[in-house]
Amino acid sequence: MTSFPTAPFSSRLAAATLAGLMATVPAFAADSPHPVEKRAFNLPPSAELNYSIQAKQSGLDVKGQGLVKWTNGKTSYSVNTETRAMLLGKILETSSEGAVDSYGLAPDRFVEKRLRRDPSTTTFNREQNKITFTQSSDTFPLQGGEQDRTGITWQLIAIARANAAKMTPGSEWKFFVAGPRDAEQWSFKVVGREKIKTPQGDTDAVHIFRAPPPDDQGQKLDIWLAPKLDWYPVRLKFTDPDGDYIEQVLDSVKKTN
């Protein structure tokens, strides 16, 4: 495999984990309102998921592996992710942990550690009702239902499991999501049902798409959730405006409870 320059690769492939890391866009003002909506949810069983990662970056082919550990503690949860790249080793670790409330996941802390960088921490301070960041001075109000960039995939899964009949083409699902430095509204739209090829065979999956806002030329995300596999993600694809992409496909899943 052709080696890839360390700095660009570490920043781009980092986005390829189930953390769902997106390109950073300007934050809303700290006092701006954001959508709050309660939906039925059903958390999936605890599991370890292994992914193969393939990417094309600046014309170069890149390969790697991803590991996601999801823990459903009934009244609490945690998600830990690790991304490794050939020649570079571990390039990204993220974690999200918190309680489970009437909205679903209620994160307390989101941590991201990238290659050769200090970790960033996003704190959901429920005593002060605000979201704070170690990487910026911005704050956002906590109104209920807010997510972080690692936990959002699992919140989406939990909602899909409880609202399967509503996951129809064209349906839209909005969330308020905090990253390492700021927070913004994310909108997911259901594209339809498709068959996805995995090492375990063809799998029926619900294709969900997240596009950046119209005025943002950021990264797009396609995610495929498999209803027959407890709605775990079997494929994800991140596409840059210049056509470069990062794709991960589920190699194996092991339930841990």
What are 103's two structure tokens? 């909205």
| Predicted TM-score (pTM) of this structure | 0.85
Helix, strand or coil for residue 164?
helix
Residues 97-144 pLDDT 10s: 999 999 999 999 999 998 778 999 999 999 999 999 999 999 999 999
Residue ranges and CATH numbers for the domains of the chain are: 6-22+34-255 (2.40.360)
Rounded distance, CA 52 to CA 65, Å?
A: 5
Alpha helices, H only, the chain: 6-13, 152-162
Residues 54-77 pLDDT 10s: 887 667 777 999 999 999 999 999
**Cβ proximity of 47 and 256 under 8 Å:** yes
pLDDT of residue 62: 79
Residues 172-214 pLDDT 10s: 999 999 999 999 889 999 999 999 999 888 999 999 999 777 7
Question: Nearest to residue 68, comparing CAs of 150, 172, 163?
Answer: 150
Residues 210-252 pLDDT 10s: 977 777 766 788 999 999 999 999 999 888 788 888 889 999 9
- Report whether pLDDT(28) > 60: no
Helix, strand or coil for residue 89?
strand
pLDDT of residue 237: 87
Rounded distance, CA 82 to CA 114, Å?
A: 10
Relative to beta strand 201-210, strand 245-255 is unpaired
